[in-house]
Structure formats: structure tokens, C-alpha cells
Amino acid sequence: MDAKRTLEFNARNIAEFRASGGTLGGAFDGAPVLLLTTVGAKSGQPRTSPMMYLPEGDRIIVFASNEGKDNHPSWYHNLRANPSATVEVGTETYPVTATEITGAEHDRLYAIQAERYPGFATYRERTDRIIPVIELSRTEP
């Protein structure tokens, strides 16, 4: 998907998510989806990205899969520059801090996501890069 189509796709999903109280239909019907708002690493402007996540207890885990492209998604670069962000889950919005997960824990979490949603296995097969796994931890405002 080119950049313009990606922006349009994301804008439609963000609007649907907010209008529906935190759910999406279509390909995302029934999947856990959140909105992640980061600060643009270059622009300093807020950037919101819809994405699937893995709820694990009190943890929220996201995957910088970028559909298996050979480059990381922009939101990942934004979090590397500034790990403070905001998530919208359902109708709740709160601040988070991002921490990258590596090693055996990375592999375990990615395997769970790929088993639940086989597209993530396909993304991993499409690229030679290691797809980052990020924990979003609730922080005090």
C-alpha cells in the first residue's frame, strides 16, 4: 500500500474506531485493535496509528510488523525517539511508555500473536528484519 492509500486507510479506521466505541469491522472484526498516538520523531506533531495488539494480563503488546515490509513503521521510529505515547483502547484513553522486548520473551509473544492471527506469521516470512515487539505500559498523567 502506498503512503497516500495508507493515510486514507488509517484515517477511515481511526474514524470508525472512535465512532464505534473502540471496535473495527471488516478485516479487523473481532480483533483487538487500539489507537497509538506518538510524537513524530522529525515533525514533533502527534501521529495516530491503528493497530492490532496482544492483551496479556495487564500488558499491552504491539508488533512493528509493517505488513512484512523491509522497513519499520513510522510509529516505531517515533517511539524510539520518544517512548511516551497515548493509547486508546475501547473508550479509554491513557498515557503509556514503550519498552522494546527482545530475546526469548520477544519470540514467545510473537509466536502467540502469529498463532492467533496467521497474518503475523506471513509478515515475518516476508522480511529479513526482526519485527520489533513493544510493551506499552500505563503511566501516570
Confidence of residue 117 (pLDDT cuts 50, 70, 90): very high
Return the C-alpha cell found at 130: 526482526
Question: What is the Cα–Cα distance from 33 to 52, expressed in whole angstroms?
Answer: 4
Residue 96: pLDDT band with limits 50, 70, 90: very high
Exposure string for 49-88, b = 16+ CB within 10 A, e = fewer:
bbbbbbeeeeebbbbbbbebeeebbbbbebbbeebebbbb
pLDDT score, position 141: 67
Q: Tens digits of per-residue pLDDT, 29-79?
A: 889 999 999 999 999 999 999 999 999 988 999 999 999 999 999 999 999
What is the domain extent for residue 85?
3-138
Question: Could you give the number of structural domains in the chain?
Answer: 1
Domain of 26, CATH number, reads: 2.30.110.10
**Residue 45 DSSP SS3:** coil
